[in-house]
Amino acid sequence: MVKIQNLLNLKEPLILASQSPRRKKLLEQLGFEFTIQPSDVDESEHILETTPEDFVIKLSFSKAKDVASRQNEHAYILGADTIVVLAHEILTKPVDKADAKRILRTLSGRTHKVFTGITIMESITYRSISAVQVTDVIFRELEDKEIEAYIATGSPFDKAGAYGIQDDFGAVFISHINGCYYNIVGLPLELLYSTLKQFSKEQL
């Protein structure tokens, strides 16, 4: 089996600056060998003062740099941040059942956008490259009993926008998407591969 690190000519270990089980699973899906070192960046301190694209790039960069600053040897750090945006409002993880119901009712019958920013950073030099992916997600009209049943599963509470598209009842809320499916899960795989490929070429 071809190792993807060899295919991309990555010469240093890869570190994921996130404890997201979904990002971990997606990296494993591609066959990456990596370790996990979550960043200590407080996402709650960041407010959407610019465009969503700039926001997720800034956060992914901050996460990568935070982890890179703790390394004593060369490594490639992957920082990532995903947000759900509806009408210029960031929809965060719901704080309770009432908040989850509010978010899902707001999404019902409407189109929202999912933004993911990724940053690849070399630990010692802080050389970096960043990129962003945007996906449109269209919800069908939801019935209250569907929303309540979904909330009863407990699934919305660890997800931005109060829903998941993968391995999850929330998938039936989505009529269609425009863009990258994996972006909604939390890590756009083609963008990641292309960005790592470019990053590797720039080191030559």
Query: Could you tell me if 147 and 105 are in contact, meaning their C-beta atoms sit under 8 angstroms apart?
Result: yes
Which residues of the chain fall below pLDDT 70? 1-2, 43-49, 203-204
Q: In this predicted structure, what is the pLDDT of residue 103?
A: 96
81 is catalytic: yes
Catalytic residue chosen out of the listed positions 66, 81, 136, 144: 81
- Give, as one character, the DSSP assignment of residue 159: S
Instruction: For 4-202, give the CATH class.
Output: alpha beta
Q: What is the reported pTM? A: 0.92
Query: For residue 75, what are its two tokens?
Result: 């490594």
Query: For residue 176, what are its two tokens?
Result: 């269609």
pLDDT by residue (tens digit) across 72-114? 999 999 999 999 999 988 898 899 999 999 999 999 999 999 9
Query: For the chain, what are the domain ranges?
Result: 4-202
Q: Give the span between the Cα atoms of 35 and 88, in whole angstroms.
A: 35
Rounded to whole angstroms, the maximal C-alpha distance in the chain is: 57
Q: Across the strands, what pairs with 115?
A: 83, 134
